[in-house]
Amino acid sequence: MNGTTFFTILFALLIRWMAKGIAPMFGDYEAQRHWMEITVNIPVKDWYTNSTENDLNYWGLDYPPLTAYHSWLMGKIANYFNPEWVKLNESRGFESYEHKIFMRSTVFISDLVILIPALYYYELKLFDQNFQFNYFLHHLFVPSLILIDHGHFQYNCISLGLFLWAVICLIKRQDILASILFCLSFNYKQMALYYSLPIFFLLLRRCFNQRSFAKLTAISFSVIATMMILWSPYLSDLNTANQVFRRIFPLNRGIYEDKVANFWYCLSVFIKIKNYFEEYQLAWISAFLTILASLPSCYLLFRQNTMKQLKYSLFNVSMAFFLFSFQVHEKSILFVNVAILLLTYRSKFMVIWFSLISTFSLLPLLIKDNLVIPYFALTIIYVVINYESMNLNSKSSMQQLFKVSIMGAILLSLASLVIAAPEKYPHIHTLLNCMYSFGHFILFYLYFLGQQCIDFQRTDEKYPNVQNRMNLFTVVHRRPKMKRN
Protein backbone atom coordinates (compact mmCIF):
# COMPACT_ATOMS: atom_id res chain seq x y z
CA MET A 1 0.00 0.00 0.00
CA ASN A 2 1.54 3.31 -1.07
CA GLY A 3 1.36 6.56 0.87
CA THR A 4 -1.43 8.05 -1.25
CA THR A 5 -3.69 5.08 -0.67
CA PHE A 6 -2.91 4.99 3.05
CA PHE A 7 -3.75 8.66 3.61
CA THR A 8 -6.86 8.36 1.43
CA ILE A 9 -8.15 5.57 3.66
CA LEU A 10 -7.36 7.66 6.74
CA PHE A 11 -9.32 10.57 5.29
CA ALA A 12 -12.23 8.25 4.44
CA LEU A 13 -12.20 6.97 8.02
CA LEU A 14 -12.17 10.53 9.37
CA ILE A 15 -15.18 11.38 7.20
CA ARG A 16 -17.01 8.32 8.52
CA TRP A 17 -16.33 9.29 12.11
CA MET A 18 -17.59 12.82 11.51
CA ALA A 19 -20.77 11.73 9.69
CA LYS A 20 -23.19 11.96 12.56
CA GLY A 21 -26.31 13.85 13.38
CA ILE A 22 -28.52 13.96 16.45
CA ALA A 23 -30.48 10.78 15.90
CA PRO A 24 -33.92 10.61 17.52
CA MET A 25 -34.10 8.40 20.59
CA PHE A 26 -35.50 4.93 19.97
CA GLY A 27 -34.29 4.85 16.37
CA ASP A 28 -31.99 2.25 14.82
CA TYR A 29 -29.29 3.19 17.31
CA GLU A 30 -31.55 1.98 20.12
CA ALA A 31 -32.53 -1.09 18.08
CA GLN A 32 -28.90 -2.19 17.80
CA ARG A 33 -28.29 -1.50 21.50
CA HIS A 34 -31.44 -3.37 22.48
CA TRP A 35 -30.40 -6.43 20.47
CA MET A 36 -27.16 -6.48 22.47
CA GLU A 37 -29.23 -6.30 25.65
CA ILE A 38 -31.48 -9.19 24.61
CA THR A 39 -28.81 -11.52 23.26
CA VAL A 40 -26.57 -11.34 26.33
CA ASN A 41 -29.39 -11.80 28.83
CA ILE A 42 -31.73 -14.49 27.52
CA PRO A 43 -31.13 -17.94 25.95
CA VAL A 44 -30.33 -18.04 22.25
CA LYS A 45 -33.45 -20.05 21.37
CA ASP A 46 -35.63 -17.24 22.82
CA TRP A 47 -34.06 -14.34 20.93
CA TYR A 48 -36.85 -14.22 18.33
CA THR A 49 -39.73 -15.26 20.59
CA ASN A 50 -42.08 -12.85 22.34
CA SER A 51 -42.02 -13.05 26.14
CA THR A 52 -42.04 -10.87 29.24
CA GLU A 53 -38.25 -10.58 28.92
CA ASN A 54 -38.29 -10.06 25.16
CA ASP A 55 -41.07 -7.75 24.00
CA LEU A 56 -40.94 -8.05 20.21
CA ASN A 57 -43.01 -4.89 19.86
CA TYR A 58 -40.01 -3.02 21.25
CA TRP A 59 -37.35 -3.38 18.53
CA GLY A 60 -37.55 -7.16 18.41
CA LEU A 61 -34.85 -8.91 16.39
CA ASP A 62 -35.86 -9.05 12.74
CA TYR A 63 -32.59 -9.89 11.00
CA PRO A 64 -31.09 -13.38 10.46
CA PRO A 65 -29.04 -15.27 13.06
CA LEU A 66 -25.62 -13.92 12.11
CA THR A 67 -26.79 -10.43 13.04
CA ALA A 68 -27.96 -11.82 16.39
CA TYR A 69 -24.59 -13.50 17.02
CA HIS A 70 -22.82 -10.24 16.18
CA SER A 71 -25.11 -8.40 18.61
CA TRP A 72 -24.28 -11.00 21.27
CA LEU A 73 -20.55 -10.45 20.76
CA MET A 74 -20.92 -6.66 20.90
CA GLY A 75 -23.17 -7.05 23.96
CA LYS A 76 -20.53 -9.07 25.76
CA ILE A 77 -17.97 -6.36 25.09
CA ALA A 78 -20.45 -3.67 26.18
CA ASN A 79 -21.17 -5.57 29.38
CA TYR A 80 -17.45 -5.71 30.10
CA PHE A 81 -17.15 -1.92 29.88
CA ASN A 82 -20.40 -1.05 31.64
CA PRO A 83 -23.19 -3.53 32.52
CA GLU A 84 -25.67 -0.63 32.62
CA TRP A 85 -25.46 -0.41 28.84
CA VAL A 86 -27.14 -3.81 28.39
CA LYS A 87 -29.06 -4.36 31.62
CA LEU A 88 -32.20 -6.32 30.79
CA ASN A 89 -35.36 -4.16 30.63
CA GLU A 90 -33.62 -1.32 32.48
CA SER A 91 -31.29 -0.02 29.79
CA ARG A 92 -33.94 0.95 27.24
CA GLY A 93 -33.13 4.27 25.65
CA PHE A 94 -29.78 4.39 27.40
CA GLU A 95 -27.53 7.05 25.90
CA SER A 96 -24.33 8.48 27.30
CA TYR A 97 -21.22 9.98 25.76
CA GLU A 98 -19.15 6.88 26.50
CA HIS A 99 -21.81 4.56 25.16
CA LYS A 100 -22.14 6.52 21.93
CA ILE A 101 -18.38 6.31 21.44
CA PHE A 102 -18.54 2.56 21.96
CA MET A 103 -21.47 2.06 19.58
CA ARG A 104 -20.00 4.20 16.83
CA SER A 105 -16.66 2.43 17.23
CA THR A 106 -18.30 -0.94 16.57
CA VAL A 107 -19.57 0.27 13.17
CA PHE A 108 -16.29 2.03 12.44
CA ILE A 109 -14.25 -1.13 13.13
CA SER A 110 -16.67 -3.32 11.16
CA ASP A 111 -16.29 -1.06 8.13
CA LEU A 112 -12.52 -0.94 8.53
CA VAL A 113 -12.14 -4.71 8.92
CA ILE A 114 -14.65 -6.03 6.34
CA LEU A 115 -15.94 -3.59 3.71
CA ILE A 116 -12.96 -1.29 3.10
CA PRO A 117 -10.47 -4.19 2.69
CA ALA A 118 -12.88 -5.78 0.19
CA LEU A 119 -13.01 -2.56 -1.85
CA TYR A 120 -9.22 -2.21 -1.61
CA TYR A 121 -8.55 -5.77 -2.73
CA TYR A 122 -11.13 -5.61 -5.51
CA GLU A 123 -9.79 -2.41 -7.06
CA LEU A 124 -6.08 -2.33 -6.25
CA LYS A 125 -5.00 -5.95 -5.93
CA LEU A 126 -7.24 -8.14 -8.06
CA PHE A 127 -6.83 -6.61 -11.51
CA ASP A 128 -3.72 -5.96 -13.57
CA GLN A 129 -4.32 -2.45 -14.84
CA ASN A 130 -2.28 0.71 -14.76
CA PHE A 131 -4.62 2.85 -12.73
CA GLN A 132 -7.32 1.61 -10.39
CA PHE A 133 -6.91 4.17 -7.61
CA ASN A 134 -9.60 6.50 -8.95
CA TYR A 135 -12.16 3.68 -8.77
CA PHE A 136 -11.14 2.86 -5.21
CA LEU A 137 -11.39 6.54 -4.28
CA HIS A 138 -14.86 6.70 -5.79
CA HIS A 139 -16.06 3.65 -3.86
CA LEU A 140 -14.74 4.92 -0.52
CA PHE A 141 -16.83 8.09 -0.63
CA VAL A 142 -20.25 6.91 -1.84
CA PRO A 143 -22.44 9.10 0.42
CA SER A 144 -25.27 6.64 1.09
CA LEU A 145 -22.93 3.98 2.48
CA ILE A 146 -21.45 6.44 4.95
CA LEU A 147 -24.68 8.18 5.94
CA ILE A 148 -26.69 5.07 6.79
CA ASP A 149 -24.07 3.06 8.66
CA HIS A 150 -22.18 5.85 10.41
CA GLY A 151 -24.89 8.50 10.63
CA HIS A 152 -28.25 6.72 10.85
CA PHE A 153 -26.47 3.78 12.55
CA GLN A 154 -26.51 0.30 11.07
CA TYR A 155 -24.04 -2.45 10.18
CA ASN A 156 -24.73 -2.84 6.45
CA CYS A 157 -20.96 -2.76 5.91
CA ILE A 158 -20.69 -6.31 7.27
CA SER A 159 -23.21 -7.88 4.91
CA LEU A 160 -22.03 -5.81 1.95
CA GLY A 161 -18.39 -6.54 2.69
CA LEU A 162 -19.06 -10.28 2.85
CA PHE A 163 -20.87 -10.03 -0.48
CA LEU A 164 -17.91 -8.26 -2.11
CA TRP A 165 -15.54 -10.92 -0.79
CA ALA A 166 -17.86 -13.52 -2.33
CA VAL A 167 -17.64 -11.73 -5.70
CA ILE A 168 -13.84 -11.62 -5.42
CA CYS A 169 -13.83 -15.38 -4.83
CA LEU A 170 -16.11 -15.91 -7.84
CA ILE A 171 -13.68 -13.94 -10.00
CA LYS A 172 -10.84 -16.11 -8.73
CA ARG A 173 -13.04 -19.18 -9.31
CA GLN A 174 -13.00 -20.15 -5.66
CA ASP A 175 -16.65 -21.11 -5.91
CA ILE A 176 -17.09 -23.05 -2.68
CA LEU A 177 -15.57 -20.26 -0.57
CA ALA A 178 -17.71 -17.74 -2.49
CA SER A 179 -20.83 -19.76 -1.64
CA ILE A 180 -19.97 -19.79 2.05
CA LEU A 181 -19.26 -16.06 2.11
CA PHE A 182 -22.51 -15.30 0.34
CA CYS A 183 -24.41 -17.46 2.85
CA LEU A 184 -22.83 -15.43 5.62
CA SER A 185 -23.83 -12.22 3.84
CA PHE A 186 -27.55 -12.99 3.59
CA ASN A 187 -27.55 -14.58 7.03
CA TYR A 188 -26.43 -11.20 8.33
CA LYS A 189 -29.02 -9.20 6.39
CA GLN A 190 -31.72 -10.84 4.35
CA MET A 191 -31.58 -8.04 1.79
CA ALA A 192 -28.43 -9.71 0.42
CA LEU A 193 -30.90 -12.13 -1.20
CA TYR A 194 -31.15 -9.39 -3.84
CA TYR A 195 -27.96 -10.97 -5.20
CA SER A 196 -29.01 -14.62 -4.88
CA LEU A 197 -30.39 -15.29 -8.35
CA PRO A 198 -27.34 -14.06 -10.33
CA ILE A 199 -24.94 -15.97 -8.08
CA PHE A 200 -27.11 -19.10 -8.33
CA PHE A 201 -27.24 -19.00 -12.14
CA LEU A 202 -23.52 -18.28 -12.43
CA LEU A 203 -22.56 -21.26 -10.27
CA LEU A 204 -25.13 -23.55 -11.87
CA ARG A 205 -23.81 -22.76 -15.35
CA ARG A 206 -20.21 -23.26 -14.24
CA CYS A 207 -21.08 -26.72 -12.96
CA PHE A 208 -23.00 -27.41 -16.17
CA ASN A 209 -20.13 -26.29 -18.40
CA GLN A 210 -17.63 -28.37 -16.47
CA ARG A 211 -20.06 -31.31 -16.40
CA SER A 212 -19.08 -31.64 -12.77
CA PHE A 213 -21.69 -33.20 -10.53
CA ALA A 214 -19.04 -33.38 -7.80
CA LYS A 215 -18.62 -29.60 -7.87
CA LEU A 216 -22.37 -29.05 -7.73
CA THR A 217 -22.54 -31.42 -4.78
CA ALA A 218 -19.66 -29.66 -3.00
CA ILE A 219 -21.25 -26.23 -3.46
CA SER A 220 -24.63 -27.52 -2.28
CA PHE A 221 -23.06 -29.15 0.75
CA SER A 222 -21.15 -25.97 1.67
CA VAL A 223 -24.35 -23.92 1.50
CA ILE A 224 -26.41 -26.42 3.49
CA ALA A 225 -23.66 -26.88 6.09
CA THR A 226 -23.26 -23.12 6.55
CA MET A 227 -27.01 -22.67 6.94
CA MET A 228 -27.27 -25.57 9.38
CA ILE A 229 -24.48 -24.21 11.57
CA LEU A 230 -25.93 -20.69 11.68
CA TRP A 231 -29.50 -21.87 12.30
CA SER A 232 -28.62 -24.79 14.59
CA PRO A 233 -30.06 -23.21 17.80
CA TYR A 234 -33.47 -22.97 16.12
CA LEU A 235 -33.73 -26.21 14.15
CA SER A 236 -34.56 -28.53 17.03
CA ASP A 237 -38.08 -27.13 17.17
CA LEU A 238 -40.17 -26.42 14.08
CA ASN A 239 -42.20 -23.69 15.79
CA THR A 240 -39.04 -21.85 16.86
CA ALA A 241 -37.58 -22.03 13.36
CA ASN A 242 -40.86 -20.79 11.91
CA GLN A 243 -40.88 -17.89 14.39
CA VAL A 244 -37.39 -16.84 13.30
CA PHE A 245 -38.46 -17.06 9.65
CA ARG A 246 -41.56 -14.93 10.26
CA ARG A 247 -39.50 -12.30 12.06
CA ILE A 248 -37.06 -12.11 9.14
CA PHE A 249 -39.81 -12.05 6.47
CA PRO A 250 -42.70 -10.17 8.15
CA LEU A 251 -45.58 -10.62 5.73
CA ASN A 252 -47.96 -9.28 8.37
CA ARG A 253 -46.52 -5.77 7.95
CA GLY A 254 -48.00 -5.38 4.49
CA ILE A 255 -46.43 -4.88 1.09
CA TYR A 256 -44.84 -1.63 2.23
CA GLU A 257 -44.52 -0.24 5.73
CA ASP A 258 -43.14 3.22 5.11
CA LYS A 259 -42.78 5.54 2.16
CA VAL A 260 -40.13 4.20 -0.21
CA ALA A 261 -39.18 4.90 -3.82
CA ASN A 262 -40.44 1.62 -5.25
CA PHE A 263 -43.33 0.46 -7.41
CA TRP A 264 -45.76 -0.45 -4.63
CA TYR A 265 -45.66 2.81 -2.73
CA CYS A 266 -45.75 4.93 -5.89
CA LEU A 267 -48.68 2.87 -7.19
CA SER A 268 -50.53 3.47 -3.91
CA VAL A 269 -50.57 7.19 -4.68
CA PHE A 270 -53.06 6.43 -7.47
CA ILE A 271 -54.52 3.04 -6.47
CA LYS A 272 -54.88 1.85 -2.89
CA ILE A 273 -53.90 -1.70 -3.78
CA LYS A 274 -54.09 -2.80 -0.13
CA ASN A 275 -57.87 -2.34 -0.38
CA TYR A 276 -58.18 -4.88 -3.19
CA PHE A 277 -55.90 -7.74 -2.14
CA GLU A 278 -55.09 -9.67 1.00
CA GLU A 279 -51.52 -9.59 2.29
CA TYR A 280 -50.71 -13.12 1.15
CA GLN A 281 -52.05 -12.28 -2.33
CA LEU A 282 -49.87 -9.19 -2.51
CA ALA A 283 -46.90 -11.32 -1.43
CA TRP A 284 -47.46 -13.67 -4.37
CA ILE A 285 -48.03 -10.79 -6.81
CA SER A 286 -44.87 -9.00 -5.69
CA ALA A 287 -42.89 -12.26 -5.94
CA PHE A 288 -44.20 -12.80 -9.47
CA LEU A 289 -43.30 -9.27 -10.60
CA THR A 290 -39.87 -9.48 -8.97
CA ILE A 291 -39.05 -12.77 -10.71
CA LEU A 292 -40.47 -11.46 -13.98
CA ALA A 293 -38.24 -8.36 -13.83
CA SER A 294 -35.23 -10.49 -12.85
CA LEU A 295 -35.53 -13.23 -15.46
CA PRO A 296 -34.21 -11.37 -18.55
CA SER A 297 -30.96 -10.54 -16.80
CA CYS A 298 -30.64 -14.03 -15.32
CA TYR A 299 -31.30 -15.59 -18.72
CA LEU A 300 -28.49 -13.58 -20.32
CA LEU A 301 -26.16 -14.55 -17.49
CA PHE A 302 -27.00 -18.23 -17.82
CA ARG A 303 -26.50 -18.12 -21.58
CA GLN A 304 -23.23 -16.21 -21.38
CA ASN A 305 -21.48 -17.12 -18.16
CA THR A 306 -18.96 -14.29 -17.83
CA MET A 307 -18.09 -11.90 -15.04
CA LYS A 308 -19.31 -8.99 -17.14
CA GLN A 309 -22.73 -10.57 -17.35
CA LEU A 310 -22.66 -11.36 -13.62
CA LYS A 311 -21.95 -7.75 -12.69
CA TYR A 312 -24.73 -6.45 -14.92
CA SER A 313 -27.07 -9.07 -13.50
CA LEU A 314 -26.21 -8.27 -9.88
CA PHE A 315 -27.31 -4.68 -10.45
CA ASN A 316 -30.35 -5.41 -12.61
CA VAL A 317 -31.72 -8.13 -10.33
CA SER A 318 -31.07 -6.20 -7.12
CA MET A 319 -32.81 -3.21 -8.72
CA ALA A 320 -35.75 -5.46 -9.63
CA PHE A 321 -35.96 -6.68 -6.03
CA PHE A 322 -35.89 -3.13 -4.69
CA LEU A 323 -38.59 -1.99 -7.11
CA PHE A 324 -41.04 -4.87 -6.85
CA SER A 325 -40.42 -7.11 -3.83
CA PHE A 326 -42.36 -7.25 -0.56
CA GLN A 327 -41.58 -5.00 2.44
CA VAL A 328 -38.77 -2.90 0.97
CA HIS A 329 -37.18 -0.25 3.18
CA GLU A 330 -35.55 2.88 1.83
CA LYS A 331 -32.19 1.76 3.27
CA SER A 332 -32.23 -1.32 1.01
CA ILE A 333 -31.06 0.90 -1.84
CA LEU A 334 -27.56 0.45 -0.37
CA PHE A 335 -27.55 -3.13 -1.64
CA VAL A 336 -28.31 -1.88 -5.15
CA ASN A 337 -25.72 0.86 -4.82
CA VAL A 338 -22.95 -1.61 -3.96
CA ALA A 339 -23.96 -3.84 -6.89
CA ILE A 340 -23.61 -0.95 -9.33
CA LEU A 341 -20.11 -0.17 -8.02
CA LEU A 342 -18.98 -3.34 -9.78
CA LEU A 343 -19.86 -1.61 -13.07
CA THR A 344 -17.80 1.51 -12.40
CA TYR A 345 -15.09 0.57 -14.88
CA ARG A 346 -17.69 0.22 -17.65
CA SER A 347 -19.82 3.29 -16.98
CA LYS A 348 -18.46 5.44 -14.19
CA PHE A 349 -20.60 8.39 -15.18
CA MET A 350 -23.82 6.36 -14.80
CA VAL A 351 -22.63 4.89 -11.50
CA ILE A 352 -21.97 8.38 -10.14
CA TRP A 353 -25.41 9.49 -11.28
CA PHE A 354 -27.08 6.52 -9.61
CA SER A 355 -25.14 7.05 -6.38
CA LEU A 356 -26.30 10.65 -6.20
CA ILE A 357 -29.95 9.74 -6.78
CA SER A 358 -29.81 6.85 -4.33
CA THR A 359 -28.47 9.24 -1.68
CA PHE A 360 -31.21 11.74 -2.52
CA SER A 361 -33.84 8.99 -2.08
CA LEU A 362 -32.73 8.67 1.56
CA LEU A 363 -33.30 12.35 2.36
CA PRO A 364 -36.63 11.95 4.27
CA LEU A 365 -34.93 9.48 6.62
CA LEU A 366 -31.85 11.69 6.94
CA ILE A 367 -34.01 14.68 7.85
CA LYS A 368 -35.58 12.66 10.68
CA ASP A 369 -32.08 11.80 11.93
CA ASN A 370 -30.82 15.39 11.70
CA LEU A 371 -28.28 14.35 9.07
CA VAL A 372 -29.01 17.17 6.63
CA ILE A 373 -25.59 18.83 6.98
CA PRO A 374 -23.71 15.51 6.51
CA TYR A 375 -26.01 14.79 3.55
CA PHE A 376 -25.00 17.95 1.72
CA ALA A 377 -21.36 17.80 2.87
CA LEU A 378 -20.80 14.20 1.75
CA THR A 379 -22.60 14.80 -1.53
CA ILE A 380 -20.36 17.79 -2.27
CA ILE A 381 -17.23 15.79 -1.39
CA TYR A 382 -18.40 12.99 -3.67
CA VAL A 383 -19.05 15.42 -6.54
CA VAL A 384 -15.65 17.08 -6.12
CA ILE A 385 -13.87 13.71 -6.14
CA ASN A 386 -15.69 12.64 -9.30
CA TYR A 387 -15.95 16.02 -11.03
CA GLU A 388 -13.72 15.09 -13.99
CA SER A 389 -15.63 11.86 -14.61
CA MET A 390 -18.89 13.79 -14.88
CA ASN A 391 -17.60 15.69 -17.91
CA LEU A 392 -20.07 18.50 -17.27
CA ASN A 393 -18.71 20.64 -20.12
CA SER A 394 -19.93 18.09 -22.63
CA LYS A 395 -22.95 19.02 -24.73
CA SER A 396 -24.11 15.43 -25.14
CA SER A 397 -27.74 14.62 -24.42
CA MET A 398 -26.74 12.32 -21.54
CA GLN A 399 -24.83 15.10 -19.78
CA GLN A 400 -27.73 17.48 -20.28
CA LEU A 401 -30.15 14.97 -18.79
CA PHE A 402 -27.76 14.48 -15.88
CA LYS A 403 -27.71 18.23 -15.16
CA VAL A 404 -31.51 18.46 -15.25
CA SER A 405 -31.82 15.37 -13.04
CA ILE A 406 -29.40 16.59 -10.38
CA MET A 407 -30.82 20.11 -10.44
CA GLY A 408 -34.25 18.64 -9.79
CA ALA A 409 -32.88 16.64 -6.84
CA ILE A 410 -31.22 19.77 -5.44
CA LEU A 411 -34.41 21.83 -5.74
CA LEU A 412 -36.51 19.11 -4.11
CA SER A 413 -33.93 18.78 -1.32
CA LEU A 414 -34.01 22.50 -0.61
CA ALA A 415 -37.80 22.65 -0.89
CA SER A 416 -38.21 19.93 1.73
CA LEU A 417 -36.12 22.02 4.12
CA VAL A 418 -37.39 25.55 3.55
CA ILE A 419 -40.98 25.15 2.33
CA ALA A 420 -43.48 23.98 4.90
CA ALA A 421 -45.79 21.20 3.74
CA PRO A 422 -49.43 22.27 3.44
CA GLU A 423 -51.71 21.03 6.21
CA LYS A 424 -53.77 19.02 3.73
CA TYR A 425 -50.67 17.19 2.38
CA PRO A 426 -48.24 16.84 5.29
CA HIS A 427 -46.12 14.21 3.50
CA ILE A 428 -45.90 15.95 0.14
CA HIS A 429 -42.11 16.35 0.25
CA THR A 430 -41.55 12.66 0.98
CA LEU A 431 -44.02 11.75 -1.76
CA LEU A 432 -42.22 13.91 -4.33
CA ASN A 433 -38.89 12.47 -3.27
CA CYS A 434 -40.15 8.91 -3.71
CA MET A 435 -41.80 9.56 -7.06
CA TYR A 436 -38.76 11.39 -8.41
CA SER A 437 -36.36 8.69 -7.23
CA PHE A 438 -38.61 5.86 -8.46
CA GLY A 439 -38.68 7.35 -11.97
CA HIS A 440 -34.89 7.40 -12.00
CA PHE A 441 -34.58 3.85 -10.66
CA ILE A 442 -36.86 2.49 -13.39
CA LEU A 443 -34.77 4.24 -16.04
CA PHE A 444 -31.50 2.98 -14.54
CA TYR A 445 -32.89 -0.55 -14.55
CA LEU A 446 -33.89 -0.28 -18.22
CA TYR A 447 -30.60 1.34 -19.19
CA PHE A 448 -28.37 -1.30 -17.62
CA LEU A 449 -30.58 -4.14 -18.81
CA GLY A 450 -30.16 -2.71 -22.31
CA GLN A 451 -26.39 -2.51 -21.77
CA GLN A 452 -26.36 -6.12 -20.64
CA CYS A 453 -28.20 -7.14 -23.83
CA ILE A 454 -25.74 -5.16 -25.96
CA ASP A 455 -22.77 -6.72 -24.21
CA PHE A 456 -24.32 -10.17 -24.66
CA GLN A 457 -24.72 -9.63 -28.41
CA ARG A 458 -21.20 -8.27 -28.84
CA THR A 459 -19.57 -11.15 -26.98
CA ASP A 460 -21.85 -13.67 -28.66
CA GLU A 461 -20.78 -12.40 -32.09
CA LYS A 462 -17.11 -12.51 -31.11
CA TYR A 463 -17.34 -15.97 -29.52
CA PRO A 464 -20.28 -17.73 -31.19
CA ASN A 465 -19.37 -21.06 -29.61
CA VAL A 466 -20.39 -20.99 -25.94
CA GLN A 467 -17.94 -23.67 -24.89
CA ASN A 468 -15.02 -21.88 -26.55
CA ARG A 469 -16.07 -18.70 -24.86
CA MET A 470 -16.09 -20.44 -21.50
CA ASN A 471 -12.67 -21.95 -22.14
CA LEU A 472 -11.28 -18.49 -22.84
CA PHE A 473 -12.93 -17.19 -19.65
CA THR A 474 -11.35 -20.01 -17.64
CA VAL A 475 -7.89 -19.32 -18.98
CA VAL A 476 -8.08 -15.59 -18.32
CA HIS A 477 -9.22 -16.05 -14.73
CA ARG A 478 -6.49 -18.48 -13.80
CA ARG A 479 -3.87 -15.80 -14.13
CA PRO A 480 -2.46 -14.33 -10.90
CA LYS A 481 -3.56 -10.91 -12.09
CA MET A 482 -6.62 -10.35 -14.21
CA LYS A 483 -7.80 -7.86 -16.75
CA ARG A 484 -11.17 -6.23 -16.42
CA ASN A 485 -13.97 -8.00 -18.19
C-alpha–C-alpha distance, residues 303 and 299, integer Å: 6
Predicted confidence (pLDDT) at residue 135 exceeds the cutoff of 50? yes
**3-class DSSP state for residue 95?**
coil
Predicted confidence (pLDDT) at residue 478 exceeds the cutoff of 50? no
Burial of 415 (0-12, 13-18, 19+ CB in 10 A): middle
pLDDT at residue 468, as a whole number: 40
Roughly how many angstroms between the first and final C-alpha of the chain, as a whole number?
24
pLDDT digits (tens, 9 = 90+) for 227-266: 999 999 999 889 999 999 999 998 888 888 789 999 999 9
pLDDT at residue 125, as a whole number: 80
pLDDT at residue 479, as a whole number: 44
For residue 258, the Cα-to-chain-centroid distance in whole angstroms is 18
Q: How many CB atoms lie within 10 A of CB 42?
A: 15
C-alpha–C-alpha distance, residues 158 and 110, integer Å: 6
pLDDT at residue 133, as a whole number: 85
C-alpha–C-alpha distance, residues 424 and 131, integer Å: 54
pTM for this model (two decimals):
0.93
